[in-house]
């Protein structure tokens, strides 16, 4: 008699915790997977892979405050003027609003734009839009974290 009761209680606990955490946990995991894929594409200087992650209407506000289009952002990677050595996102926080997700994270970047070292830590905001089951980056912004 005790075993079925324990089994039922265990099942109810598993089901209720799954319902209580599934959406937030799933959103967090999806956001983390996206920023990991984005970081990997950047780190490998793979402009084609980055291009696939960016929506056609993508806009980027760089640390200097300049607004760049998708083409502006990809051009220095394609020409070889921009070279990433490493890119890592941590402190990733994901908030989902229907088909839109807002990701705030810390980015640690080692990179050179021509001869200029543009490495540093940045607080990044990424706005994602879900399209046909895939997340695309529609806008991002990076602010330098003061040392």
Among 16-30, 50-64, 85-99, the minimum mean pLDDT is found in 16-30
Question: Would you say residue 22 has pLDDT above 70?
Answer: no
Question: Would you say residue 37 has pLDDT above 70?
Answer: yes
- Is the pTM higher than 0.75? The answer reads yes
Question: Would you say residue 124 has pLDDT above 80?
Answer: yes
Strand segments, DSSP code E, in the chain are: 54-61, 67-69, 82-97, 100-113, 116-117, 120-131, 134-144
Of 69, 84, 74, the residue nearest 48 (C-alpha): 74
For the chain, the C-alpha Rg in angstroms (whole number) is 19
Per the CB < 8 A criterion, the answer to whether 135 and 101 are in contact is: yes
Domains of the chain: 2-144 (3.10.450.50)
Burial of 29 (0-12, 13-18, 19+ CB in 10 A): exposed
Average pLDDT over residues 60-88: 97
pLDDT at 5: 45
């Amino acid at each position: 008699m005790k075993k079925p009761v324990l089994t039922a209680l265990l099942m109810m606990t598993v089901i209720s915790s799954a319902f209580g955490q599934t959406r937030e946990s799933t959103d967090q995991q999806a956001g983390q997977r996206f920023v990991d894929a984005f970081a990997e594409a950047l780190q490998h200087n793979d402009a084609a892979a980055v291009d696939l992650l960016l929506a056609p209407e993508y806009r980027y506000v760089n640390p200097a405050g300049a607004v760049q289009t998708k083409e502006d952002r990809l051009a220095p990677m394609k020409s070889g003027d921009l070279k990433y050595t490493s890119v890592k996102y941590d402190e990733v926080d994901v908030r989902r609003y229907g088909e839109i997700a807002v990701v705030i994270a810390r980015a640690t970047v080692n990179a050179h734009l021509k001869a200029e070292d543009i490495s540093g830590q940045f607080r990044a905001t990424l706005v994602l839009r879900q399209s046909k089951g895939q997340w695309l980056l529609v806008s991002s912004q990076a602010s330098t974290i003061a040392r």
